[in-house]
Each structure stands twice: as structure tokens, then as C-alpha cells.
Amino acid sequence: MPVLHNRVSNQALKARMLAETEPRTTVSFYKYCRIDEPQALRDVLYLAFTPLAVFGRIYIAGEGINAQISVPQSRFEQFRTTLYQAHPAFDGLRLNVALEDDGKSFWVLRMKVRDRIVADGIVDATFDPSDVGGYLRAEEVNALVDDPGAVFVDMRNHYEYEVGHFDNALEVPSDTFREQLPMAVEMLETSRDKKIVMYCTGGIRCEKASAYLRHHGFPHVYHVEGGIIEYTRRARELGLPVRFSGKNFVFDERLGERITDDVLAHCHQCGASCDTHTNCRNAGCHLLFIQCPACAEKYQGCCSPECAQELDLPADEQKARRAGREAEMKIFNKSRHRPLRMRIPGKEA
């Protein structure tokens, strides 16, 4: 029986990846489609992708597939052919190639079967995720940005919106996609007659959100095809103005792709202009927050003096503290409802 999961430590795998000399291509893709046997498809793809040295995260569910991966450039075409042949619905699906890419984002292949490829909290059996809004390409997006009859809706989390968004886009202020969906319906209630343009990183969330709005009776719903990644690629390719400002947050070690030179956010500790996300270096915290270089030096890459002090403790004491800390009682997390508790004179970080 072949091994269908990784048995090597993350540390060793990361070292192997960093020692590679061949360039890699980072790519994301998704497809909403019916998959009758998700576990069987997962195992087939795992066995096919492992020899190709595909690294990253792939989620498979009865409703489709969602992936963020990297693959050696010499094996990219073989990977694409293998993917397209794995399921009839995968043939020709769009692959979003990273805009900024050093190929060092992933070092292991993790493939999981889930109930949904995006956790949406929808329990309505009459909801049809395939009844989506109209797709918009970059040139069509630009035509609508300044249209007073259009409303752009950002379907990403608050920490993604903070560092970059389309001009005048509406933020749906929530921590999770499942919270956003009903909130978006409520916030857009007075805009039912307008053109609703939804967008996200690579298209997967805004596509489902467009179906959710249509399910709730919104007549003019659209979404940006391929999300920010495809929009930016095509706008640059066609020489169009890029109307997305700032950074596009990505869920790998890069934590962001620069789209324009605009810096929209501020350091969460001192308030300086900055849009660099980082995770607190204290292993018992790992809060995702924005930190400028000066504060990174001052607090040793930590989110607070308390975390910096804990980082200085002997390793065994740090481990003991982490073991005794209940996850739900953590002081720090990435929630907009429980932000950094630091206090800077004259400011609240």
C-alpha cells in the first residue's frame, strides 16, 4: 500500500526545499463542481503530484477543489496535464500564477478532504453555488470602478482589506467568510437596484458570495474573474490602469504581493505608514499583525513587550507556558474584535 501522507518533519522538508536550485512556480486554482468521491480523488491526486514535487495545500470536497501550490518549472506542464485529466470538470480550469514569486512559499504537500472547500456556514438546502453572478474581466472592472451605479464589495477578511483594496470598495467587517455572507446581504439591502461587484484574492470566495446574493434576490450581481490576481495580471498585460491599490494579501509565507506602490495601512504598534504583515515571533502567540522595521527591532518581531519578554525565557519555560495556555484564552489573535492590546502614548495600537 503506497504512503498517502507525509512522514518527514517540517523542518527537514523546509531545508530540502530551500536547498533546491530549480525555480518553482506558485499557482492557485479552484473549481466548484460535483465530486462524488472526494477521498478517492484526493488519493489519486496525492499519488500523482508527489513524484512531481508539488508542494502546497489542496482541499477537496463534494462541492469542488481549492488549492495553493508550487511546482518545479520543468514539471509545470506535466502537473497541468495531470490536473486537467483527473476530473472532467477540471479540464481547462484557470490557474492563477502568483504575481510576485520566489517559489519558496511551500515545502510539503498537504491534501485534505473537507465538507466545503470554503467554510461558508450555509445550511439552506435550496442554495445553488453554481448559480453565480456574471464574470468581469479587467477592462470591464475598470469601466465599473467609477460608475455611480456600481458598488464594489470586498469579500476578504479585515486584515486583507487593510493593506489593499479597489478604490472605494465596501469592506464587510468580519473575521470569517461565514460571517460575511449574511452581513453582506444586510449591508447591501439599500443597494439592490445597483450593480454589485464582488471580489476576493483568487475568485473562490467572491464567486460563492455572488451566488449567495443571487439566492437572496439581488438582480445585478457580478464578480471579478480570477479575483485580484487575475485582474492585475490581465490589466498589466493590456496596459490598463490598475485600480486596485496597495498589497494583495496571500496565505503563504510571503503574506502579500505588491500591486501598487500605495501604502494604505499603518504599523499596529506606532502608527507609522506600513503594510508589512508578520506573525509574532513568540510561538505561544503568533498573532498576525502589521509591524514597521523600527518596531520589529524594538520588540524583537513580537506584538508586545510581554511577548518579547516571553521570547527571552529559556526554551523549556516557554514551552511550559504554551502548554498551560488555553487556545480560547489567548490574549492575542488576528480578530478585529480583539486587536492588539498595546497602548502607545497618544495612540491605541
By annotation, the residues acting in catalysis are 200
Q: How far is CA 341 from the centre of its chain?
A: 25
- DSSP strand pairing (24-32 vs 64-72): antiparallel
Contact (Cβ atoms closer than 8 angstroms) between residue 70 and residue 25: yes
Q: Cα separations (Å) of 21 from 18, 102, 194?
A: 8, 12, 51
Q: Report d(CA 173, CA 183) in Å as an integer.
A: 8
Q: Report d(CA 163, CA 263) in Å as an integer.
A: 7
Alpha-carbon dihedral 230, 198, 204, 156, rounded to 10 degrees: 100
Which amino acid is located at 241 in the chain? P
Q: Cα separations (Å) of 27 from 103, 198, 252?
A: 10, 22, 11
Cell of 119: 467554510
Half-sphere exposure of 64 (CA within 13 A, CB side): 19
Cell of 288: 498576525
168's torsion region: left (phi>0), alpha (psi -120 to 50) or beta? left
Q: Report d(CA 342, CA 304) in Å as an integer.
A: 6
Q: Cα separations (Å) of 55 from 91, 137, 196, 202?
A: 21, 29, 36, 18
Contact (Cβ atoms closer than 8 angstroms) between residue 194 and residue 150: yes
